[in-house]
Amino acid sequence: MDQDTGEAAVSASPRDRLLDAADELFSRDGIARTSVDQVLHHAHVAPGTLYAHFSGKDGLIAAALRRRMDRWDQTWQEAIDAAATPAEKLLALFDAVSTYRGRYTPGRGCAFLATSTELPDLDHPVRAVITAESTLLLTRLNQLAGTVTTDDPGTLAGDVLLVYDGAMAGLQRGRTPDPLGRGRALASRLIQNAIETA
């Protein structure tokens, strides 16, 4: 049986501590620059715990990103449910990012795009998670855009996604004041234009 190291009274399970440590360190420092030893030290667990739960670093990367996607999906859906109008539901994408960043490890931008850049191998176990997140974005935005306008909702969804990607890149650059707020305002103008020209 593995003996966890570190503080005796840690409330989270060893598995959750590993996921928390991976999420924080991979988001902050990057995957390649973060060693397994750093994750183990941060999580206060022994090496056997990592291999018992995730079979190694690649499995941990995929599991941490999968948990991030599940949390992101839930946070975004909550923001949609709280919005009052179809336009506000489409704009909830930006509100959800702000909520997510306040609730969980914020990262420097889009963790899915960052991981895709660091791990371009199509056979890597993380690729399925990256694809699932892209599918979630495109599917949900298309559905929401269809409630705003029947005149080419796919183009509106694509435009909102492009603004979103730019806002996420703005977070990573760190040079644009409030990129999420500015992205939301720009997307709002695109939505209003789509409504007026329908």
pLDDT per position as a tens digit, 95-142: 999 999 989 877 778 889 889 988 988 889 899 999 999 999 999 999
Count of domains forming the chain: 1
pLDDT, position 80: 98
Does 120 reside within a domain? Answer: yes
Cα gap 96→85, rounded to integer Å: 16
Among candidate residues 183, 185, 174, 34, the one with its CA nearest the CA of residue 109 = 174
Note down the domain range covering 174. Answer: 65-197
Number of residues that make up the chain? 198
pLDDT, position 3: 44
Does 20 reside within a domain? Answer: no
Does 18 reside within a domain? Answer: no
Give the count of beta carbons closer than 10 Å to the beta carbon of residue 47.
Answer: 11
Q: What percentage of the chain's residues is helix, strand, coil (to nearest 5)?
A: 75, 0, 25
pLDDT, position 109: 80
Does 73 reside within a domain? Answer: yes
Sign of the alpha-carbon torsion through 84, 88, 93, 94: negative
3-state secondary structure 95-130: HHHHHHHHHCCCCCCCHHHHHHHHCCCCCCCCHHHH
Does 178 reside within a domain? Answer: yes
Cα gap 191→86, rounded to integer Å: 10
Cα gap 179→170, rounded to integer Å: 6
Q: What is the CATH number of the domain that holds 165?
A: 1.10.357.10
Residue numbers in the chain where pLDDT is lower than 50: 1-9
Does 36 reside within a domain? Answer: no
pLDDT, position 7: 46
pLDDT, position 10: 53
pLDDT, position 85: 97
